[in-house]
Amino acid sequence: MAVKWTKKDLLGLEGLSADEIGLILETADSFKEISQRPIKKVPTLRGQTVVLFFFEPSTRTRTSFELAAKRMSADIVNIQTNASSLTKGETLKDTAKNIEAMKVNIIIMRHSASGAPQLLAESVSPSIINAGDGSHEHPTQGLLDMFTIKEHKKKIAGLNVSIIGDIAHSRVARSNIWGLTKLGAKVTVCGPATLMPPEIEKLGVKVTYDIKEAIEGADVINMLRIQLERQGQSLFPSIREYAMKFGLDAEKMKYAKKDVLIMHPGPINRGVEITPEVADGPYSVILEQVTNGIAVRMAVLYLVSGVKERIE
């Protein structure tokens, strides 16, 4: 591929070109092969230090990044904290400067505030990889979703992809929208009006409140996790009503195409946004997403680390 990777950081998919996204997906292909070897380790990041800087608990994303970095022989440091403890004195930048002083190479950051990774990228020299910031972006999730789609459908352009659930608070939705539309997919977003952010259609997506409309004709359905505490914020009346109106169950699957892919970024609220029979059913690629997450994250680590050696 002609395009060269030039970016120090991966903050989101908004700032990437279609070619750059393509490069990550292609690179991930080679790394996926490594994950299938009996000895899953390459020396690509030997001698480099990767910090997992997590301000929000997240077992899945952290584990996936950690495995990705380990399989590339990086040294790994885990820092778990929460945003509120920081605001009492030391600022995010102070903490980041301290980490920088320890001469680390890559900081993988998860934070509850949108834009926090950008703040970090502007103030310290290590590469910053956004592992999810507020409701803003979760680029590696968007990438692994696209990688999974491409594996099955052999393409992204022209596909109908429906994203269903809490669009307003979802960084997964935003990264998917940016990435998929750049690669030429037709994206529909669906959810209750209270969880639909204003003017989202300006991102080039179709908006519907009718889940049947979102299911019909979709090549891919990506079900988002609903945060149960939103119920208390008058964003929907009850979990039961949410499940009835926006949950994906066998009944609603009747409207789906015969070769539809069902995705979910996890962790699943079984019986809320998706029933177990659909989540574990024949169309589901949810566990493949988890496997692919490691390959995609290895690819991102490889590219931002600027390592020039070829994969062995």
In this complex, which beta carbon is closest to other proteins, that of residue 150 or of residue 174?
174
Are the beta carbons of 166 and 224 closer than 8 angstroms?
yes
Q: With binding defined as CB under 8 A, does residue 217 bind other proteins?
A: no
Using a 10 angstrom Cβ sphere, with 0-12 exposed, 13-18 middle and 19 or more buried, the burial of residue 206 is middle
Q: Shortest distance, CB of residue 46 to other proteins, whole angstroms?
A: 34
Q: With binding defined as CB under 8 A, does residue 15 bind other proteins?
A: no
Q: Shortest distance, CB of residue 30 to other proteins, whole angstroms?
A: 32
Q: Which of 174, 182, 225, 297 binds other proteins (CB under 8 A)?
A: 174
Contacts 24+ apart (CB under 8 A), 275-279: 275/247, 275/248, 275/249, 275/250, 277/249, 277/250, 278/248, 278/249, 278/250, 278/253
How far apart (Å, rounded) are the C-alpha atoms in residues 53 and 76? 11
Q: Shortest distance, CB of residue 39 to other proteins, whole angstroms?
A: 40
Q: Shortest distance, CB of residue 232 to other proteins, whole angstroms?
A: 13
Q: Which of 9, 20, 137, 166 binds other proteins (CB under 8 A)?
A: 137
Residue identified by tokens 């669906």 is: 190
What residues are paired with 294 via a beta bridge?
A: none
In this complex, which beta carbon is closest to other proteins, that of residue 93 or of residue 252?
93
In this complex, which beta carbon is closest to other proteins, that of residue 113 or of residue 307?
113
Q: With binding defined as CB under 8 A, does residue 88 bind other proteins?
A: no
Enumerate residues 151-170 that contact other proteins by CB under 8 A: none
How is residue 310 annotated by DSSP?
P
- 21, 172, 190, 228, 277 from 270: Cα distances, Å: 32, 19, 19, 12, 9
In this complex, which beta carbon is closest to other proteins, that of residue 73 or of residue 112?
112
What residues are paired with 49 via a beta bridge?
A: 75
Could you tell me the two tokens for 152? 């099955």
Q: Shortest distance, CB of residue 260 to other proteins, whole angstroms?
A: 27
Q: Which of 47, 103, 199, 238 binds other proteins (CB under 8 A)?
A: 199
Residues that bind other proteins (CB under 8 A): 14, 83, 87, 91-93, 111-116, 118-119, 133-137, 171, 174, 197-200, 202-203
